[in-house]
Amino acid sequence: MMFDLSGMTALVTGASGGLGSAISKALSAQGARLAVSGCNAGKLDGFRAELGGDHVALPCNLSDAAAVDQLVPQAVEALGGKLDILVNNAGVTRDNLLMRMKDEEFADVIQINLEAAFRLMRAAAKPMMRARFGRIISITSVVGLTGNPGQANYVASKAGLVGLTKAVAQELASRGVTVNTIAPGFMTSAMTEALNDQQREAIPVEDPARRDGQRRGHRRRRPSISPAARRAMSRAQTLHVNGGMVMP
């Protein structure tokens, strides 16, 4: 199903990365005007130029709580006074076994993957509730459901994001704001390409069709993130995009 997003505005974090760029391109193709955000200003500017149009780039370090709190107000101002869609896509990994994991490795992942999403949801809820319309979408992960050795911090952040989403969805539903998650399986992206063979083999459940996911649709029907992002705007749910890797 296609959605006409003409006249709507969106903020996408982690926009210049693999999944973030695909989601941003999909929203732009549907007519939305975007504020794209990321921590690498140069890369972000290049991606904004690639998108064309009158989209804006808003660099932000999601480990800086004060900067995160300002991101939504900056997006609202840059996008003409409103924000219709928030996509919490940015995320990091600091993989290590439990007995070797440092405090900062755990804290960094929780701060960027979970706390920043909470802060952005809280800020976005204000203009969305006033408008009595909004769509908040957060990218979680299949490992938030299954677990994964060596990723206790990442798994905790993604599982926490699912719980956060369920609570916020119930709070905002009566004001016309839907809050959803998309839980990708093993998607081809810079983050997964950085995994070594041992980490890949540790992924607990295989896709029965033995296919890696991708960021956009493909004629061979590999699981794709962009259609899921569009669909998540229509109802409250968690969409599992893993090709049958996990069947919740």
Q: Which residues are catalytic?
A: 154
Which residue do the tokens 């926009």 mark?
15
Q: How confident is the model at residue 119 (pLDDT cuts 50, 70, 90)?
A: very high
In a domain, 199, yes or no: yes
**38-51 pLDDT tens trace:** 999 999 999 999 99
Secondary element (H or E) of residue 161? helix 152-172
Count of the separate structural domains present in the chain: 1
**Using CA atoms, how far apart are residues 68 and 63, in angstroms rounded to an integer?**
8
From 154, 71, 149, 147, select the one nearest 110 (Cα to Cα): 154
In a domain, 248, yes or no: no
**Assign residue 174 a region: left if phi > 0, alpha if psi is -120 to 50, beta otherwise?**
alpha
Length of the chain: 248
From 126, 241, 115, select the one nearest 189 (Cα to Cα): 241
Specify the CATH number for the domain of residue 190. 3.40.50.720
In a domain, 2, yes or no: no
Please say if the pLDDT value at position 211 is more than 50.
Answer: no
Residue 87 has a CB neighbour count (10 Å cut-off) of 29
In a domain, 78, yes or no: yes
Q: How confident is the model at residue 210 (pLDDT cuts 50, 70, 90)?
A: very low
From 46, 246, 88, select the one nearest 180 (Cα to Cα): 88
Percent of the chain whose pLDDT exceeds 90: 71
In a domain, 246, yes or no: no
Q: Which residues contact 3 (CB under 8 A, 6 or more apart)?
A: 30, 230, 233, 234
Domain of residue 53, residue span: 9-240
